[in-house]
Amino acid sequence: MAVLLNKSDMASSLGISVQAFDKWGVLPTQRKGREVLYDVKSVLDNRLAHQQRKQQPDDENEDHDQQLLLARIALTEEQAIGQKLKNDRDSRRVVDTEFCTFALSRIAGEIASVLDALPLSIQRRFPGTEDHQLAFIKAEIARTMNLAAGVGEKLPGILDEYIRISDE
C-alpha cells in the first residue's frame, strides 16, 4: 500500500519549499476534496524524467553548435589564407592588381613621353628626312602612345582572360 502525502508534507520531507515543489510539476496521485495527495513513486518518476531530459542533448542546440563550429572553421581558414597572402605580399612574391595597374600606367606614361619626343629627335638627327616620312612616323608614334596610355584600363580585362585561360 502506497503512502500518500499532501503537498506541504511532501515538500518538507524532500527538504524543499512548497513553491519549489510546485515548479517540479509532479502529477498528483489522488485528490480528496481540496487536498491533493502525492506518493513517493510519482515524485521519483518526475525527478528521473527531469534528469533524463537534462542529459539528452537538445537537437536544436546541437544543430546550432554544429553550425557555429563550421562557421568558426570557415572563418579560421579564411584568416589563414588572408595571412598567407599578406606574408607573400610582404615578401614581395605577390602584388595587388591595383599596384600592377598603377605601375604599368606610370611606365606607359614614361614611354609616351619618350615617343612624343622621337619625331623631333629624328628630324634633328637626320635633317634630310622628308615631311611625309615624319608625318608617317608621328602617326605611328601617336598610335603607339594611345596603346600605351590604355594599358591601365585594359589590365583588369587581361587579368580576367588570364584567369579564364589558366582555369581551363
Question: Mean of the per-residue pLDDT values for the chain?
Answer: 87
3-class state of residue 10 by DSSP:
helix
Q: What is the Cα–Cα distance from 53 to 39, expressed in whole angstroms?
A: 22
Structure confidence by residue, pLDDT tens digits, 31-85: 888 889 999 899 999 999 888 888 776 666 677 888 999 999 999 999 999 999 9
- Range 91-95 average pLDDT: 84
pTM of the model: 0.44
Instruction: Please return the burial class of 105, using the count of CB atoms within 10 Å of its CB with bins 0-12, 13-18 and 19+.
Output: middle
What pLDDT is stored for residue 145 in this prediction? Answer: 85
Q: Which cell numbers hold the place of 67? A: 553550425
Sheet containing 30-32: which strands, arranged edge to edge? 4-6, 35-39, 30-32
**CB atoms < 10 A from the CB of 11, how many?**
20
- Residue 43, judged by CB atoms within 10 A of its CB (0-12, 13-18, 19+), counts as buried
| 142/160 Cα distance (integer angstroms) | 28
